[in-house]
Structure 1
Amino acid sequence: MDSLQQVSQQLAELKSFYTREWPKYCKEYYCLDSFQELHKRDAKLKDVQVYALPNLELGLFVIVDRYQISVGSLEADSYERVLKESLLKLQFFGGEQFASMPKRYLKVALDVIQAKNIKVDLNSVTYSLVLSKDEALYFHVEPPIGFTLKSLKVDDAQVIDDHWEWSEPGSLSYIRRQIWCTTSVGLYKDEDNELVAWCIKAQDGLLAALQVKPSYKRKGFGAIIVKEFSRLEAEQGRDIITEVGSENEPSLNLFKKLGFKFNDQCHWLFTEAPNGD
């Protein structure tokens, strides 16, 4: 089998193969699209390696973003074997995360983790949801009186990290990068410019880190943030994708109410880090 090669200039060509059977592969498409945009902002993106096979038409890719691993492959004969062989050639130390992968890759990832003698620390199930850009363009968003909607500032990253359920060592710099490079939305209180609600775009293209400060909940601010983010992405020609934990009924109901449709079941796999590091 051909070996994985690092790529960066071929991301546009690689993602084009994922337009088939839309929206089946929208997760893979927007993951590649997001890293393509990141590379445009920073051609020497720190701690990011993008790998693919020489035959790009297979669609197979592996992206290593510090300790997060994103994978994709078009379903074809023996695609699981080829993906597994590719992943086995990468070094694993423990502490890696397979970031939000569609269920069709789960067996391969678990087999690779077992072969590397690493333990799974967490297998988190999420539901992948998608909203078409045509629907999102119909959103008319008006911030409530006394508040302003605008893009987040890099300095807001600390507030977001402080309130984020998945905050961990390194997440602050990650949030700063995403704010600097991609679409984000914040709702600010005019009186003192307090950031009260927000979301960012994750490295794999997801609407992520959606949060409303506790004292501002039950005012519809979450829906305002989602609608504004979706509208901004749609204006750039993108459908909107997000993921919600399978047990998070309030968020699932919010996204469904706004027109998001179920697309796939996904999994976050956290592997056990050596010495808990």
Structure 2
Amino acid sequence: MPLQLELIGLQQLENYQQHYIQQWPKYVAEFYCLDNFIRFFRVDPQIENITVYTLSEQKAKDAALFVIVDRYQLFVGCLDSGKELLRQALDLLDWSTGFKCSSIPFRHIEALEQVVKAKQLKLRYSDLTNLYYMPQKEATKLEIDTPAGFYMKSLSEQDANLINDEWPNRHEGSLYFIKRQIRLCANVGLYEASTQELVAWCIRLQGGFLGALQVRATHTRRGFGSLVTKKLSQRIAVGGQDVMALVNPDNRASNEMFSKLGFQVIDQCLWLRTEPVSGELMWPDGQ
């Protein structure tokens, strides 16, 4: 019987996640990716436009192989024993609308690129990023000194419009994405006390990484990016988890910031966007 993609649910994801504890932190990206999607399904069992697959082959299940399609984004993971099976799983996906292959661990890049080449998919971009990592015990010790006249708190969905407007990566459907991440993932915002104006923020992305890190142009060069990074890192660590971030090697300022804070580069991850085979991917309003 030929291999087929097989839908999996919350309980199987929870079982798969335990496989990625071995050789810690080798599989840290897979572990926290699953951790976030598990949380999504627990909080909102009816959440839309997220589908999780494995392969029908028992070896794929033993390797905890998963392929998550989150709207237009693609997340993958498997143990080393499932590398060839991962290529086969990716080959079985429908690539017609295009995918943003997000935070793909370095060991899975070859399988992804083989499928892209075999299907003759056109690329919008392909960017390798450094995976910065800080263990939970270290992150809890980060020193945070909020300057006078400012305060930090969790973001609200009311902040999403401003964040989306300021986000260099905004796109159709990104407002919904930001609102969802604020609702379901750890985040922090820095506000000016006199005006309650949001001036800097950081949001944990669904892959488990710190992301959407930004300071408004009116408040740059004051250390606010580092401040919200430390605060969110500490918040994640107090919850018992290690902290990760992805940074383009060409982004000198961000690489220097994470290194200065004590993060270590332990791996690299790829962001790769394929073009739709025909037309453009369109998302309904509010999704």
Q: Same fold (TM over 0.5)?
A: yes
Map of 2:90 onto structure 1: 87
The CA deviation at 1:2 is: 5.0
Query: Matched residue of 1:45: which SS?
Result: coil
The CA deviation at 1:9 is: 2.1
Superposition TM-score, scaled by structure 1 size: 0.95
Aligned residue runs from structure 1 range 22-41, under 5 A: 22-41=24-43
Structure 2 distance, partners of 1:45, 1:87, is 23
Map of 2:110 onto structure 1: 107
Query: Matched residue of 1:246: which SS?
Result: coil
Unaligned runs of 5+ in 2: 282-287
The CA deviation at 1:53 is: 3.9
Structure 1 distance, partners of 2:7, 2:146, is 44
Query: Matched residue of 1:123: which SS?
Result: strand
Structure 1 distance, partners of 2:213, 2:69, is 24
Aligned residue runs from structure 1 range 109-258, under 5 A: 109-258=112-261
The CA deviation at 1:80 is: 2.7
Map of 1:275 onto structure 2: 279
1:199 corresponds to which letter in structure 2? C
Contact 2:52-2:68 within 8 A present in 1 as well: yes
Contact 1:130-1:241 within 8 A present in 2 as well: yes
Structure 1 distance, partners of 2:196, 2:129, is 33
Query: Matched residue of 1:145: which SS?
Result: coil
1:92 corresponds to which letter in structure 2? W
Structure 2 distance, partners of 1:82, 1:275, is 30
Structure 2 distance, partners of 1:216, 1:196, is 7
Structure 1 distance, partners of 2:280, 2:12, is 37
Contact 2:105-2:268 within 8 A present in 1 as well: yes
Structure 2 distance, partners of 1:228, 1:116, is 43
Map of 1:5 onto structure 2: 6
Query: Matched residue of 1:232: which SS?
Result: helix
Kindly provide the CA deviation profile for residues 123-145 of structure 1, in whole angstroms up to 9, marking residues without a partner as x.
01111111110001112323211
Structure 1 distance, partners of 2:121, 2:139, is 42
Pairwise CA RMSD of aligned residues? Answer: 1.4
Query: Matched residue of 1:215: which SS?
Result: helix
1:275 corresponds to which letter in structure 2? G
Structure 2 distance, partners of 1:65, 1:117, is 23
The CA deviation at 1:97 is: 1.1
The CA deviation at 1:86 is: 1.2
The CA deviation at 1:272 is: 1.3
Structure 2 distance, partners of 1:202, 1:52, is 22
Q: In the alignment, does 2:45 pair up with 1:43?
A: yes
Kindly provide the CA deviation profile for residues 5-43 of structure 1, in whole angstroms up to 9, marking residues without a partner as x.
222222221111011111111001100001011111111
Residue 80 of structure 2, aligned match among 75, 79, 82? 75
- Of all paired residues, the percent bearing the same amino acid is 38
Map of 1:64 onto structure 2: 69
The CA deviation at 1:148 is: 0.9
Superposition TM-score, scaled by structure 2 size: 0.92
The CA deviation at 1:194 is: 0.5
Contact 2:191-2:197 within 8 A present in 1 as well: yes
Contact 2:97-2:280 within 8 A present in 1 as well: no
Structure 2 distance, partners of 1:32, 1:228, is 23
The CA deviation at 1:276 is: 4.6
